[in-house]
Amino acid sequence: MSSNRRQAVASIVQRPPLPTSESPQSLTELYGRNVFGDRAMRERLPASCYEAMRDSIERGTELDPRIADLVANAMKEWAVERGATHYTHWFQPMTGLTAEKHDSFISFSGDRLLLEFSGSELIKGEPDASSFPSGGIRQTFEARGYTAWDPTSPAFIREGRNGAATLCIPTAFCSWTGEALDSKTPLLRSNEALSKASIRMLRLLGDERVESVWATLGSEQEYFLIDRNFFVNRPDLVATGRTLLGARPPKGQELDDHYFGTISPRVLDFMEDSEHELWKLGVPIKTRHNEVAPSQFEVAHIYERSTVATDHNMLTMDVLRNAAARHGFVCLLHEKPFAGVNGSGKHNNWSLATDSGDNLLDPGDTPADNARFLVFLSAVIRAVDKHADLLRISIASAGNDHRLGANEAPPAIISIYLGVELDAVCQGLIAGVSSERYARTKMQLGVTSLPPLPRDTTDRNRTSPFAFTGNKFEFRAVGSSQSVAMPNIFLNTMVAESLNDIADEIEKADAPSREDAVQKVLQETLRAHYRVVFNGNNYADEWYQEAEKRGLPNHRTTPEALAYYLSDKNVNLFESLGVYSQKELEARRNVAYENYSTAIAIEAQSCLGLAQTAVLPAALKQQEQTARSLAAARAADGSLDLGPQEGALKALSTGINALIKASQRLQKAVDAAEDGEHDVVAHSEFVRDKVFAAMAETREACDALETMIGDETWPLPKYREMLFIH
């Protein structure tokens, strides 16, 4: 084993256990301790100010700027008591990450140091926006950007290592000309559009109580953990977050022995550490477990408002990375960090809730008789069929292209799974007949001491990208590293449009009664859009053929998907509901293209570097050693059969030549991609067709050589080490 690999393994084997931590506070004391949430506001704000804040949070009413000073002072006092010295407007630019600029609370009066934080500082900040992606919205000389306080998402404290802390204030981020430069602003807009459309529909159905509706979200975050000693010895992981070469190990996930397996003590320590930090931040972490691939894990959230849940998912990714570092791990959030084993996704569990506590996607015991549920279900079906291209765009990235269609992820064809009961109800509506009530059976397990279990009529289809699972839809194609904001912006907007269109049709329907009008419109809606429903195996070859017959789009790569970003249909959708202007859409399309091409360009350069400075020298060293051994054997005894050794040397020489040629083709493709100015569309297509293909060829040559080079000579940590040694 090479010296670097030997040292990496030795450091893990010799790693002392972490000291036992003190008993943590009870969960009820711990949860939300670092959040300026409802409890802190009720305790610290005047009653009228608190009620105004609650009204803004619950109903989206405009907040009186005059109370900002009261809130800012209370927030500052609360934060300072917890060790905060600085505050930051925490926002989510179009990098897909979070951003923050810290300012201290310090001001001076003569030689006296004061701690101040005003309402104007709370409401607005002015970070330099010149280096954030804008997609052409603004030029460098128009660098100023503004952060605007989002009172619907609670402020929180991030604790530092030395006891100091920072008050983080969730904000929107916009250009000085007023366009959104972030994901929070359009997410808030989409929720308002969805609420208005939902209330309009509920009024048509006779509900006069509901005053607001919001999308709820529960995300499931998948990730890999590897020891940091391996990570720092893999330049590809450091630069790109995924391994650009690596032969498959003898054992991967074939035995399914990692999924839901016993969690190793070191990993469990990391999980408990990250959970405690997240609970203090008010993040409702519920579930943890081993995932399918070795060294892959998952953490899942309880459902909450999608705007807050999006913030919490961004926090979760950050906390996982930081906690991993404390435990000597690196948390890999790339969608496909290791070839040949499952990649990571982020299941997006989406539903609709009212301020009266109802879930609008709860079918109840008799869904065939639940008109409200059927209306909202039909609106989702219509939205997904009409705007499948947008859902595909919302998850398009270089990383996710590795995952979609593999065993751990649905294909790029967007379809809906409903389950047997709802399928029967919808088919009955389409046919104009009453569906038979579905008999909800119980599973008999054949052991008298075990109780019979009710059989779930919507048991999720793991191959479906958009599956109904009880009282929500699970969008399973979202990538593990991406913000959940865009999928939910698109989903909220699509469904809002469908609700408005269905409401229009109900209002103008020629029917004897409102009930008859609803049934007629639902029947027409389902007939027109039921092609998107598929309850079978989405992995089967037959489904690809069937989907093509149905006219469902299959955009296999990111450039294919992004080509539909600015269609008239999509621009009209977002502009009509005030979620994006055309300029804002164009910006996001440009950023998406640039991100795709840049990600592959970085990977290509990293792949070239590894091939030329790590693999090729190791292969040449192995060739020299093999040739020397062969010559010594011949000299010692000319009668020996040295055929196997000669074959090994020949294979090694062939492999070296293949690597040199593949590297040359990759270099040529990289140079061509960098040569001159490119239209973003043409550039992304060239990168996909030429650079990525040459990179795959180079990887194939490297992986073949790895199997021929001795363990003492191979310089990089192998899959068997990274995935199985904790």
User: Which region holds residue 578: left if phi is over 0, alpha if psi is between -120 and 50, else beta?
Assistant: left
Pinpoint the residues of the chain covered by CATH 3.10.20.70: 31-182
Alpha carbons 124 and 147: distance in angstroms, whole number: 5
Asked if residue 144 lies in contact with residue 191, where contact means CB atoms within 8 angstroms, the answer is no
With cut-offs at 50, 70 and 90, classify the pLDDT of residue 686: very high
Contacts of 572 (CB under 8 A, 6+ apart): none
**DSSP class per residue in 376-403:** HHHHHHHHHHHTHHHHHHHT--HHHHTT
The average pLDDT across 321-343 equals 95
pLDDT, mean of residues 331-358: 95
Against a cut of 0.85, is the pTM above it?
A: yes
Contacts of residue 254, Cβ cutoff 8 Å, sequence gap at least 6: none
DSSP β-bridge partners for residue 473: 350, 468
Q: Return mean pLDDT, the chain.
A: 89
CA-to-CA distance for 36 and 435, rounded, in angstroms?
A: 50
User: Tell me: the pLDDT tens digits for 571-609?
Assistant: 999 999 999 999 999 999 999 999 999 999 999 999 999
pLDDT tens-place string over residues 107-154: 766 555 556 787 788 877 776 666 787 787 766 556 677 888 899 999
Taking a C-beta distance cutoff of 8 angstroms, is the pair 49, 75 a contact?
no
Question: 527: part of which helix (H) or strand (E)?
Answer: helix 514-529
Q: What CATH number does the domain located at 31-182 have?
A: 3.10.20.70
pLDDT digits (tens, 9 = 90+) for 615-659: 999 999 999 999 888 888 777 776 667 678 888 889 999 999 999
The closest of 246, 401, 238, 413 to 335, measured between CA atoms, is 401
DSSP strand pairing (346-354 vs 213-227): antiparallel
CA distance 337 to 517: 52
> Pairing relation of β-strands 165-175 and 84-90?
parallel
Query: pLDDT confidence of 439, banded at 50, 70, 90?
Result: low
What is the reported pLDDT for 142?
A: 60
Residues 294-321 have a mean pLDDT of: 96
Token reading at 148: 């605007």
| pLDDT at 207 (0 to 100) | 93
What's the rounded Cα separation, in Å, for the pair 377 and 88? 41
| Beta strand residue intervals within 46-204, DSSP E | 84-90, 102-104, 106-109, 112-115, 124-125, 145-149, 155-159, 165-175
Q: Which residue has the tokens 């027109």?
A: 528
All CATH 3.30.590.10 domain ranges in the chain, comma separated? 190-595
Continuous H helices in 142-300: 184-204, 228-232, 235-240, 265-280
- Alpha carbons 264 and 278: distance in angstroms, whole number: 21
β-pair partners for 345? 479
- pLDDT score of 206: 93
Q: Are 264 and 12 in contact (CB under 8 A)?
A: no
Say what the pLDDT of residue 108 is: 61
Q: Is the pLDDT of residue 320 over 90?
A: yes
According to CATH, the topology of domain 190-595 is: Creatine Kinase; Chain A, domain 2 (3.30.590)
Q: How many CA atoms lie within 13 A of 649 on its CB side?
A: 14
Stretch 383-412: mean pLDDT: 89
Adjacent-strand bridge partners of 475: 348, 466
Q: What are φ and ψ of residue 263, in 5° steps?
A: -80, 130
Contacts of 723 (CB under 8 A, 6+ apart): 226, 249, 252, 293, 294, 295, 338, 341
Residue 159 sits at the vertex; the CA angle it makes with 158 and 160, to the nearest 5 degrees, is 120
- 3-class DSSP state for residue 545? helix
The string of pLDDT tens digits covering residues 444-490 is 556 666 565 555 555 566 789 999 998 999 999 999 999 999 999 99
Q: Count the neighbouring beta carbons within 10 Å of the beta carbon of residue 657.
A: 11
What confidence tens digit (pLDDT) does each residue in 488-511 have?
999 999 999 999 999 999 999 988
Q: Which amino acid is at 594?
A: E
Helix/strand/coil for 222: strand
pLDDT grade for 24, boundaries at 50, 70 and 90: low
Confidence grade of residue 365 (pLDDT, cut at 50, 70, 90): confident
Q: How many CB atoms lie within 10 A of CB 131?
A: 10
Percent of the chain whose predicted confidence (pLDDT) is above 70: 90
Can you tell me the mean pLDDT for 408-429? 90
36, 78 contact by CB (below 8 A): yes
Most confident of 21-25, 66-70, 127-131, 251-255: 66-70
**% helix, strand, coil for the chain, step of 5:** 50, 15, 35
Convert the pLDDT of each residue in 94-117 to its tens digit: 989 999 889 888 776 655 555 678
Of the candidates 77, 80, 81, 58, the one whose C-alpha atom is nearest the C-alpha of residue 69 is 77
| Amino acid found at 113 | L
pLDDT of amino acid 488: 98
| Kind plus residue range of the DSSP H or E element containing 225 | strand 213-227
Confidence of residue 286 (pLDDT cuts 50, 70, 90): very high
pLDDT of 255 over the 80 cut: no
3-state SS class at 507: helix
Burial 607-644 (b: 16+ CB within 10 A, else e): bbebbbebbbebbeebbeebeeeeeeeeeeeeeeebee
In angstroms, rounded to a whole number, what is the distance separating the alpha carbons of residues 474 and 470?
Answer: 10
Phi, psi of 352 (to 5 degrees): -130, 130
Beta bridge partners of 304: 217
Residue 38 pLDDT exceeds 70:
yes
